[in-house]
Every structure is written in structure tokens, then in C-alpha cells.
Structure 1
Amino acid sequence: MDFNLSPELTELQARIRRFVADEVIPLERDPRCGAHGPDEALREELIGRARRAGLLSPHVAPAYGGLGLSHFGRSIAFEEAGYSLLGPVALNVFAPDEGNMHLLEEVATPAQKEQWLRPLAAGEIRSCFCMTEPAPGAGSDPSMLQTTATPDGDDYVISGRKWFITGADGARLAIIMAMVPGVGATMFLSDMAAPGIVLERNMDTLDRCFPGGHGVVRFDGLRVPASAILGELGQGFRYAQVRLSPARLTHCMRWLGAARRAHDIATDYARQRQAFGQAIGRHEGVGFMLADNEMDLHVSRLTILHCASVLDAGHLALHESSRAKVIVSEAVWRVADRCVQILGGQGTTSETAVARIFADMRAFRIYDGPSEVHRWSLAKHILRGVKPHAAAGGHA
């Protein structure tokens, strides 16, 4: 595969890099960054800056206000955005909105796109994706879905409880996965202000980069019309995969940028900090960690570019997205961990961005499927004789 960048993509990469350095990184210490992510005023300021720079929602089709980047193009843009934990918020490519916009583009009706996709792409509203449930409900095993949507005349009445719902606090749109009795899992669209939706609480988590944090949401007889069905009845799990494979990859892109930032900070420190008669980077203990970082970053980028190219060519098999998610999530975590170690005591403080990257990145090995589940899925493919290095393949 040819991973050379076109002149247009090279220029866009440079623009985003300058924008993040000049417009985003200076806001990282803004007091509006709280325990549950940047507040709405800060998000709106970041969105406004990206809009003025012509960089807003680069993944969305131009018809809805974006730049219409291919998956390969997104891999370049999203890495640059991820160099600051606020960068994805500014460019409107943060989770879950980015994945939700992709899903709406692929599945929604024209009316649903006008109602929800257009304002999402403009950064005017936020959204959440309501699938994960407390035990005994759906987590890594979506077949355990407990939330129900019961037909009642021309409407559906949704009841159930969700948690770890990223961005629920302050979201305008909810995409809800529920089981329709006798039909199967189905996705529904709802205004979060609708009667019957209760945000019980925000969960205190290690990460602080997602606007709205992570909420516990209860549906108490939420009534939605049939026109709120996203796609077709009973096809919810299939649409989840439409969203999930690209979303796993875009997480990899953004966190690669964050890992590169941590590595750059650690490298500068290793050049300057003196110990035992020389810069610490010249000691093998530190120098080898920097070398290992470089290799992990390189392998992660090649993995992402390969998968993005496969997506652009047609279809990325679930086992390929599983493989990429494990490779990259564990590689960038190793990078962040080494950077903390190189910085020593500094790495455990807010003196640099490394500690914040380290804390925010840890959850990536869990969400969108923990590494252990992906390894289990890959093992099943291997035992069935499906080569994990195939360029394409069917659903798991």
C-alpha cells in the first residue's frame, strides 16, 4: 500500500498542527476543564476557533458542513488533533459525537440527518450513544441487552438503565439501543430533554477529556414515535458494527497523537535533564525507553494507515479492527507509561501534559471492547482458519 500523503493532505496536516499549537494547547490549563471534561463554554470557544480556521468536522460530508475526508485522510487529521487532549473537541472529532455522525451518515433518513446530523456537524449540539448497561445487562457481550422498547400503538416505550454513557450530561441527542420484543435489538433517536430520560449521575473516572463525562442514564417509559427508529427494526447489532469498526480506528488515531505529544515532552526532558554527569537520555535506561517509544509509535501508525486504507477500499473485517485496537491501545499505553518514568517525579504532576495523557489514555484498553475480548475474538478466527492478516473479511 502507498502511504505517501498527497499535497492537499500534507497541507491539511500542517494546518491542523499549527492550529493545535497556536489555538488549542494554550487553553489546556483553562479552569473550565473540569473533572467531567471541558465545560460547554470552553467547548463552544474551541469549536468557534476551528470553524474560523476551516477545520471543523473534517470527517463529515461537505453537504453537511465537513471536509469529506477519507478514512486515510482522517488518520492524518485525527492524529494531529489528538496531539492535545482538547484538539478532538475543537475539531469536533471527539467521541462519541464523531462515531455518531458516521453512523447517522450511513444509516439515518434524510429527515433524521437534517434534524440531527447537520447540527452535530456544525458543533451546535452534542450526542451520546446509550448501549452499555449495569449487570446483568449488556457490556462486552451485547446479547445481554436488557433495555426494552415495547410497541404501543404507533409509538415505542423504552425502559431500562445505561451507564458509562459518554457525554450524556449536556447532550441533545441520544442514540439508544433497546430490545424490541419478538423483533430484536433496534436503535432509536431521542431528544435528551424528552420526558422519561433521567440522568441519574455522572461517574467519577480517570479520564477528564470527554465533554459531559460519563453518565448513568435511566429510561422511565420514554415514548418515541416509529419515525425515531434509526435504520430498520431488529438491525441494531448490525448498525452497531457499522459504527464500531471505524470508531475503534478513530480512537487509535486520536490517542496516537496524544502518545506522540507525551513522547515529545519526554524527549525534550531527556535532552535537558542532567544526572550522573550527562543528559539522562544518554543513559541506556532512558535512551532505550525513547527508542521503544519510537518503535511503538511507528507500528501504531502503520497499523492505523493500513486499516484506514482497507476501509477506504471497501470493508474492514471485525477481526482486523480488533487486532488494530489491541495493537494500538497497548502500544500507546506503553509509550505514555515510559514517558511518566522518564520524567520521574515530574511525570506524576500537572507540570506537563504527560500525567493527564497517562490517566486519560488508560481507559482506551477497555472501551470499545477490552483487549482480552478482542484477543478471544482473534483466537476464534485463527482456530477457524481465518488468517488475521487478511485484507478483508466478514463479520465476527
Structure 2
Amino acid sequence: MNFGYTEKVEDLRRRVRAFMDEHIVPRHQQWLEEVHASQYPVSFMEELKAQARAEGLWNLFLPHLKDDEPGTRLTNLEYAPLAEIMGRISWASEVFNCNAPDTGNMELLHMFATPAQREQWLAPLLDGTIRSAFAMTEPDVPSSDATNITTSIRRDGGDYVIDGRKWFITNAAHPNCKILIVMGKTNPDAPTHEQQSMVLVPMDTPGVKVVRNIPVLNHVSPEGHCEVTFTNVRVPAANLLGDEGSGFALAQARLGPGRIHHCMRSIGAAELALELMTERSQERKTFGKYLHQHGIVGEWIAKSRIEIDQARLLVLKTAWLIDEVGAKAARKEISMIKALIPQLHTTVCDRAMQVFGAMGVSPDTPLADHWTWGRALRYADGPDEVHLQAIARMEIAKSKETLGAAAAYLNVPPRD
């Protein structure tokens, strides 16, 4: 395993960081002002997207693009450090057309869409002219186990008819969101993991209703984490994505690379929090000493550096494994980073907020917003507890191959 950045990646890191510093960071205050004034999408987004595309910083996340598809064709390991840089500003990834949930949806369409579906939906997503949403989570069942979903997808002649309720559907409030990938049950009597299917549902289909944009910790995201209902929603059978009964497998295929993206953006947010904390600790004095000279603050700085670097290496290892052996074989490492990184994200942000004092919970720093999103990530793509249980099950299964071997290391005297 070699996680050192290649010359190609170092060049891209320099270019992405330069673009962030020159074009995105100076616009952040304007972004906040326009969003708070309910102007969304912000007035300058298309301008920045066109500039990023012109500079070759576009669709950085898809390694298997065709020659006629716009993008940079990076592996997960190559893309990971770029996602980290984007994570410093919450909306930056959209500028590079690398924003969730569009990235995961483009992955799905790239792998499983028919030629007609690719032309209608994948092409405009790759061009950044539309946005999309992924509708799986439901309010009435524990959706961390996707086999629990109850939304029905019923075949009726040449159509599918969809009825159900989804929530926390990211992007559904975005004015440019044109397509939903909806997961539901087509055959409740099939084996457990073959009951689900995915269908493509245009947002303007009759019966699709965005009920509300749900605040996250009282913070309303302009792109939305929405509750959406489907009432007798009828779409052509040609809108089926993949095969009937393949929905659960498609969902698993979608989540592997997406978790790399989320985790590296979180590391970027934590890195920024550490930088802010370190600078603040050298500017502010209490009781006659700079903050970093107080033992507890120095300890926070040191622990944050250790924890961020550890976490980054684990995510890079996971990205490398996905590239080498696929997401299925890397499922333990994927669960490990998903359980670890959101807590790292909130821990480092919390320390930085404490060093800033009351300013840390105000809009004068990005820390409160970053902390809020880090806390939400402890649910996104599966809650911590589900991933921890999955890791434990895999460790137990592995130990059974050599069960009892570790007993030789016990210093227990033999019994008579």
C-alpha cells in the first residue's frame, strides 16, 4: 500500500486549492447573504461551475467515464485528497460537480442505466445542468436496514405505480432538482434482499409532493433534506433502474465511494477547524498566557492533529481497497471510516468552538455550521451503531477461523 500523492494528484491538489482560495472562499460571505435572503441557487454558481470546468476541475470522482463524457477520470484514492480540500467550504463541491447526492446518483446511472436513461438523465447530470435526489429513507421504519422500507412500486401494465413517504431526501428542495431515484418494494414475497427495486421519477410527475424541508438542528439547508410523498405516482416501466429486485444491491454499490467522499470532506472540515483553533490560541490571552500555553488547549491541538492524520490514513486505505478489490470486499473498512470520521469531525469542531468562546457558536466562524453537518453525518449512510455492529460481526466471523489460538498467550496456570 502506498498512499503518497502522485505528481498528478499533487498538481490537482494545488489547482483545486488555488481555485478555492481565489474563487470560492472570497464568495462565501456572498453565498451566506444570498441564501439567508432565500436566493437560491446563488447568483454566481453557474459562473463558478463554468470556470471550474474550463480549468479541467470537473467530475473529478468518476474513474470509468467514456471518452465523450466530461470529467477527470480519477480513482477513489486519487480523488480523496481533492474531496478533503472541498470539505473546507460546505458548498464548494457543487462548483466542481462533485456534490452529493449527485455523485452517487451519477455512479448508479453510469453503472446500471439503459442507453435511453443515460441520455435523458446522466448526460445533464455530468454537464451540471440539473440536480438529483436519492429517495430511500422513510419516517415510519428503521431505514438503516433498507430491507424495512415500505414504499410500494407496483407494476400496472406498461407502468409502475408508486405510493409511499420518504424523508431526509437531500437536494429535493433544490430548484434544479429534476430527477428522483426512488427505492421501494416491487415484490414483498421475494427473498428479503430481492424485494426492492429502484425507479427513476421526474420531480414534476403528478403525485410527487415535497411536504417540507426539514431543518437539521434547526438549520435549514437550501438544497433541502425533505419529506416527500408519492401518491399514485405513475411512471413508464422503462424507468426501472437495473433489474426488478436489484434495488438493495444497487444501494450497496452506490454507498461505497460516496462514503469516501463524505469522510474526506469531513476531514477537510476538521483540518480547517484545527487551523482556526491553532491560530486563535496564539491570538487570545487569558490569565496572562496565550491560550495554547494552557495545558488543556495545547492537548486539544495535539490530539486533533494525531486524530486527523490517523483518520486520513484509514480513509486513504479504504479508497485504495475499493480501487483494488471493490466496495464489497472493502465493506469492513467502509464501515470503519463511517463510524469514525463523523465523530472526529464533531470532536475537532467542538474543541475549536470552545477555544473561540462564544464567537465559536456564532455565524462569525464556520465552526457551528461544520459541527452541525458533522453531527448529521452520524446518521447519513447508516448510523454509527449499525456500522459498529457490522464491524463486530466481521471481526467475530474472522476470529472463528482460528478460535482458541490466542489462548496460548494467557498466563493462566494449568488446572489439576
User: Would you say the 8 A contact 1:196–1:221 is kept in 2?
Assistant: yes
Identity %: 36
Please show how residues 261-280 of structure 1 align to structure 2 within 5 Å. 261-280=272-291
Q: What CA distance in whole angstroms lies between the structure 2 residues aligned with 1:35 and 1:140?
A: 35
Q: What CA distance in whole angstroms lies between the structure 2 residues aligned with 1:27 and 1:321?
A: 34
Corresponding residue number in structure 2 for 1:3 = 3
Corresponding residue number in structure 2 for 1:392 = none
User: Would you say the 8 A contact 2:76–2:260 is kept in 1?
Assistant: no
User: Would you say the 8 A contact 2:215–2:221 is kept in 1?
Assistant: no
User: Would you say the 8 A contact 2:56–2:71 is kept in 1?
Assistant: no
User: Would you say the 8 A contact 1:134–1:161 is kept in 2?
Assistant: yes
What is the total number of aligned residue pairs between the two structures?
Answer: 386
User: Would you say the 8 A contact 2:35–2:42 is kept in 1?
Assistant: no
Corresponding residue number in structure 2 for 1:391 = none
Q: 2:53 aligns with which of 33, 51, 76?
A: 51
- 1:140 equivalent to 2:132? Answer no
- 1:177 equivalent to 2:183? Answer yes
Q: Which amino acid aligns with 1:57?
A: N
Farther off after superposition, 41-50 or 373-382:
41-50
Corresponding residue number in structure 2 for 1:336 = 349
- 1:356 equivalent to 2:360? Answer no
- 1:310 equivalent to 2:321? Answer yes
User: Would you say the 8 A contact 2:343–2:375 is kept in 1?
Assistant: no
Q: Which amino acid aligns with 1:372?
A: E
Corresponding residue number in structure 1 for 2:393 = 380
Q: What CA distance in whole angstroms lies between the structure 1 residues aligned with 2:121 and 2:356?
A: 44
Structure 1: segments with no counterpart, 5+ residues: 388-396
Corresponding residue number in structure 2 for 1:393 = none
- 1:164 equivalent to 2:168? Answer yes
- 1:285 equivalent to 2:320? Answer no
| Greater gyration radius | 2
Corresponding residue number in structure 2 for 1:365 = 378
Q: What CA distance in whole angstroms lies between the structure 1 residues aligned with 2:112 and 2:220?
A: 28
Q: 2:110 aligns with which of 105, 110, 133?
A: 105
Aligned to 2:199, the other structure's residue is in SS state strand
Corresponding residue number in structure 2 for 1:323 = 336
Aligned to 1:28, the other structure's residue is in SS state helix
User: Would you say the 8 A contact 1:50–1:91 is kept in 2?
Assistant: yes
Output the TM-score relative to the length of structure 1. Answer: 0.92
Q: What CA distance in whole angstroms lies between the structure 1 residues aligned with 2:132 and 2:200?
A: 10
Q: What CA distance in whole angstroms lies between the structure 2 residues aligned with 1:174 and 1:37?
A: 23
Farther off after superposition, 185-194 or 311-320:
311-320
Shift in CA distance, 128/207, structure 1 to aligned 2, threshold 3 Å? farther
User: Would you say the 8 A contact 1:270–1:342 is kept in 2?
Assistant: yes
Corresponding residue number in structure 2 for 1:13 = 13
Shift in CA distance, 186/24, structure 1 to aligned 2, threshold 3 Å? same
Please show how residues 194-343 of structure 1 align to structure 2 within 5 Å. 194-206=205-217, 211-316=222-327, 317-343=330-356
Aligned to 2:68, the other structure's residue is in SS state helix
Corresponding residue number in structure 1 for 2:408 = none
CA shift, 1:51, in A, is 2.3
CA shift digits 1:370-389 (9 cap, x unpaired): 111111111222222269xx
Q: What CA distance in whole angstroms lies between the structure 1 residues aligned with 2:116 and 2:83?
A: 29
Shift in CA distance, 16/345, structure 1 to aligned 2, threshold 3 Å? same
Farther off after superposition, 260-269 or 274-283:
274-283
Q: 1:150 aligns with which of 154, 158, 174?
A: 154
Q: What CA distance in whole angstroms lies between the structure 1 residues aligned with 2:37 and 2:138?
A: 22
- State the superposition RMSD in angstroms: 2.0
User: Would you say the 8 A contact 1:46–1:89 is kept in 2?
Assistant: no
Corresponding residue number in structure 2 for 1:80 = 85
CA shift digits 1:291-342 (9 cap, x unpaired): 1110111011101110010011022332221111112121122111111111
Corresponding residue number in structure 2 for 1:22 = 22
Output the TM-score relative to the length of structure 2. Answer: 0.88
Aligned to 1:189, the other structure's residue is in SS state strand
Q: Which amino acid aligns with 2:9?
A: L
Aligned to 1:64, the other structure's residue is in SS state coil
| Stretches of 4+ aligned residues off by more than 4 angstroms | 35-38, 207-211
Aligned to 2:117, the other structure's residue is in SS state helix
Q: What CA distance in whole angstroms lies between the structure 2 residues aligned with 1:35 and 1:77?
A: 30
Q: What CA distance in whole angstroms lies between the structure 2 residues aligned with 1:221 and 1:144?
A: 21
Corresponding residue number in structure 2 for 1:394 = none
